[in-house]
Amino acid sequence: MSDGALVLFSGGQDSATCLAWALARFERVETVGFDYRQRHRVELDVREKFLPELRALFPHWDARLGGDTRLDAGALAAIGNTAMIENVAIEMGENGLPNTFVPGRNILFLTLAAAVAYRRGLKHIVTGVCETDYSGYPDCRDDTIKAVQVALNLGMESRFVVHTPLMWIDKAQTWGMAMDLGGRALVDLINRGTHSCYIGDHETRHDWGYGCGACPACQLRADGWRRWLEGA
């Protein structure tokens, strides 16, 4: 198994920053994305446009960036009952979690990603989950990711390393990381070329990017952008 990396790339700000992080560290980097009938399915279209633009803007990364795999995770939609998939109002549930929480999503994504990495001979798996600046999802926690890494290595007799570059930083620091990795060119590409809005609004443009401006993902991204500019 090589020291190459597989990045879980959704088409959003966080995973795009993680992709740049991986490209700066590994000689061989591939990407994987998932179609789970998400309400913001436009992110799948956005990611297809982002990759060639990234190659064109950063020729030194082009040679490192390998293939992209897109997998069907539609079973999550069949389970249903989440505002991330169904057209319902975003609100807090009785269990204290927002109804945008998709049970098992990140655990499933990491399992599928590890299967791809196994077949592709890639040791490192990179995901943009974050415990510091997130929506309260338990499958984004550091303890969860570490437990999944142990299970994957036991179950596949491998030595995968799951990297979470954003785990302990907020959205403002994520913009700062992008700036450090690729300068203003990368920040601008992520700003205009990614999608994080839960509602799926990719028509309304703000200074921080596209989105409805009201959902939790948009609020986090807008606040992070403002705080990064103030501290830049």
Segments of the chain with pLDDT less than 50: none
- Residue 114 is assigned to a structural domain of this protein: yes
- Residue 24 is assigned to a structural domain of this protein: yes
- Provide the pLDDT for residue 3: 87
**The residue to which tokens 């299970």 are assigned:** 151
- Residue 157 is assigned to a structural domain of this protein: yes
- Provide the pLDDT for residue 129: 95
- Provide the pLDDT for residue 135: 63
- Provide the pLDDT for residue 133: 63
- Residue 226 is assigned to a structural domain of this protein: no
| Full residue range of the structural domain in which residue 148 is found | 2-195
- Provide the pLDDT for residue 137: 85
Q: How far apart are CA 214 and CA 199, in angstroms?
A: 9
CATH code of residue 51: 3.40.50.620
- Provide the pLDDT for residue 97: 73
Number of domains in the chain: 1
Q: What is the pTM of this model?
A: 0.94
- Residue 145 is assigned to a structural domain of this protein: yes
Q: Kindly state the DSSP code that residue 98 receives in the 8-state scheme.
A: B
- Residue 143 is assigned to a structural domain of this protein: yes
- Residue 205 is assigned to a structural domain of this protein: no
- Residue 219 is assigned to a structural domain of this protein: no
Read out DSSP for 151-202?
HHHHHHT---EEE-TTTT--HHHHHHHHHHHHHHHHHHHHHHH----SS---
- Provide the pLDDT for residue 178: 98
